[in-house]
Amino acid sequence: MLNNTQITTYQAQLESEKKKIQQELSNFGVAKKNDPHDFDSFMPSIGLSEEDNALEVSEYLNKLCAESLLEARLKEIVEALHKIKTGTFGICEKCHQDIEIKKLDVNPASDFCINCGKYLN
């Protein structure tokens, strides 16, 4: 079992990562009114020539990809923070054993212990 000090440390890590991601996402677009965790990308406008258009599209796709990765990570963090509140943080979702500290140190938002995580990735 994790003690309170450990949980507080992970919580602080998660909160600061959450803030960073939200900030990065705000560069992509504006938060949707009904869901503050989902952001709309806006299409960059570089120019009107065909090359400019191609560049705009590829930049837009790069952004969308980065945006969806950030959103997925944000979702994991929000879930982990929720687990802290409900007292299930640090417990493997599959085998219900404690998740190893060394795994939580790498990613405090881990859902599975090392053993269970092996079969899922």
Burial tier of 111 (Cβ tally within 10 Å: 0-12, 13-18, 19+): middle
- Give the span between the Cα atoms of 110 and 118, in whole angstroms: 12
Stretch that binds Zn ion, among 3-11, 15-23, 33-41, 108-116 (CB under 5 A): 108-116
CB of 3 to Zn ion, least distance (A): 20
Q: Is 21 in the site for Zn ion (CB under 5 A)?
A: no
Q: Please choose, from the candidates 12, 15, 3, the residue with its C-alpha nearest in 3D space to the C-alpha of residue 77.
A: 15
Q: What is the pattern of x (binds Zn ion, CB under 5 A) and - over residues 61-100?
A: -------------------------------x-xx-----
Q: Is 113 in the site for Zn ion (CB under 5 A)?
A: yes
User: Is the CB of 29 or the CB of 117 nearer to Zn ion?
Assistant: 117
- Give the span between the Cα atoms of 65 and 51, in whole angstroms: 21
User: Is the CB of 25 or the CB of 90 nearer to Zn ion?
Assistant: 90
